[in-house]
């Protein structure tokens, strides 16, 4: 792409970009790695001189790497465009996967996540690597665990389908909102996915008492985003605010876990992370089975005492 074209598009509006590139193919002709050579002059003459929220974008092996720019010269044109432009840009991007820094905050990350979901692209948070994971030191047993997750989730969905229908009908009667709520959570290796729950309305207290609102998470297990037993399921908001422990986001989250069975002891946040590290370091199928049984026992004991 010629420098003269870069200079022209540095301050261009999306409409002008369409005129330059053609209405339907303007994004397909973009050099996805380039930075605006004249953006520094533009930034110093406007209110966008702050690089703290600027994107530094690279296309590498079918992945878009979206990082925080350190210098004005590195800022990509996407940084100060509107959501509509970003949507069209992603739609035509040859990348099938996006890795993005957590530094951009919850609002921008949700925008990227929603648009990636819309155009069938996977999106991951850029987090530190963590090698103390069960699939590395026990690959065969880990495959068995994932097979059991899938088989049990599929069986439960079939068995409990009448209950799903009844609950969905009760929720629909009491609210015009969608029956299932969706919340962005952070899965294995930082991949963002929708966590499913039943909407709690008039029947909320009764559903919460028996944890029925969490039944749709069986779909998350079936899709491979979660396990029955795993690390704590961090929401997007929580994930970007736990910087020292972000490496644990590489692990697969679970419907229950060591954090659940130890909750009654009032552990501090640091103790919870330490417990999860120990769980991952010494993981076994037997340990998962014990955690699952303890969770069920705690659930029934709580109901009996209430």
**Structure token digits, residue 279:** 């769980």
pLDDT digits (tens, 9 = 90+) for 91-110: 888 889 999 999 888 999 99
Compute the distance between CA of residue 172 and CA of residue 216 in angstroms, rounded to an integer: 16
CB 68 within 8 A of CB 103: yes
| pLDDT higher than threshold 70 for residue 52 | no
- pLDDT at position 6 is 37
| pLDDT higher than threshold 70 for residue 88 | yes
- pLDDT at position 62 is 86
> Which of 27-36, 49-58, 109-118, 239-248: highest mean pLDDT?
109-118
Which residue shows structure tokens 């994971």?
133
Cβ neighbours of residue 276 under 8 Å, at least 6 residues apart?
231, 232, 248, 251, 257, 258, 259
Q: For strand 63-68 and strand 97-100, is the pairing parallel, antiparallel, or unpaired?
A: parallel
CB 177 within 8 A of CB 225: no
> Positive or negative, the Cα torsion across 65, 70, 76, 80?
positive
CB 7 within 8 A of CB 37: yes
| pLDDT higher than threshold 70 for residue 164 | yes
* % of residues, the chain, pLDDT over 90: 44
Return the minimum-mean-pLDDT range out of 60-64, 156-160, 213-217. 60-64
For 26-87, where are the E strands, in sequence order? 55-60, 63-68
Say what the pTM is: 0.81
Averaged pLDDT of the chain: 81
pLDDT digits (tens, 9 = 90+) for 177-187: 999 999 999 99
Q: Per-residue pLDDT averaged across 127-148, rounded?
A: 92
pLDDT digits (tens, 9 = 90+) for 248-306: 899 999 999 998 887 655 667 778 888 889 999 999 999 999 999 998 888 777 655 55
| pLDDT higher than threshold 90 for residue 196 | yes
Compute the distance between CA of residue 250 and CA of residue 247 in angstroms, rounded to an integer: 6
pLDDT higher at 69 or 18 = 69
- pLDDT at position 111 is 94
- pLDDT at position 17 is 45
> Which of 28-32, 162-166, 267-271, 272-276: highest mean pLDDT?
162-166
Which residue shows structure tokens 């340990």?
287
- pLDDT at position 265 is 59
pLDDT higher at 54 or 33 = 54
């Amino acid at each position: 792409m010629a420098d003269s074209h870069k200079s022209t598009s540095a301050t261009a509006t999306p409409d002008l970009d369409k005129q330059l590139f053609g209405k339907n193919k303007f994004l397909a002709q973009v050099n996805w790695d380039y930075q605006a050579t004249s953006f520094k002059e533009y930034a110093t003459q406007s209110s966008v001189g702050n690089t703290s929220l600027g994107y530094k974008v690279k296309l590498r092996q079918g992945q878009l790497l979206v990082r925080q720019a350190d210098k004005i010269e590195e800022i990509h044109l996407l940084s100060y465009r509107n959501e509509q432009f970003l949507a069209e840009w992603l739609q035509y991007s040859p990348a099938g996967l996006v890795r993005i820094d957590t530094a951009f905050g919850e609002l921008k990350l949700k925008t990227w996540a929603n648009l990636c979901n819309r155009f069938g692209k996977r999106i991951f948070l850029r987090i530190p690597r963590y090698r103390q994971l069960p699939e590395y030191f026990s690959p065969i047993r880990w495959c068995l665990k994932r097979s059991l997750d899938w088989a049990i989730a599929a069986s439960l969905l079939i068995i409990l389908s009448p209950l799903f229908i009844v609950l969905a009908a009760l929720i629909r009667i009491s609210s015009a909102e969608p029956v299932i709520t969706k919340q962005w959570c952070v899965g294995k290796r930082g991949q963002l996915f929708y966590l499913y729950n039943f909407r709690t309305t008039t029947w909320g207290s009764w559903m919460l008492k028996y944890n029925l609102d969490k039944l749709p998470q069986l779909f998350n297990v079936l899709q491979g985003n979660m396990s029955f037993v795993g690390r704590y399921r961090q929401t997007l908001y929580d994930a970007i605010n736990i910087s020292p422990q972000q490496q644990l986001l590489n692990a697969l989250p679970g419907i229950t876990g060591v954090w659940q069975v130890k909750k009654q002891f009032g552990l501090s946040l640091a103790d919870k992370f330490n417990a999860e590290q120990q769980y991952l370091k010494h993981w076994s199928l037997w340990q998962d089975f014990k955690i699952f049984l303890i969770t069920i026992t705690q659930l029934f004991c709580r109901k009996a005492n209430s």
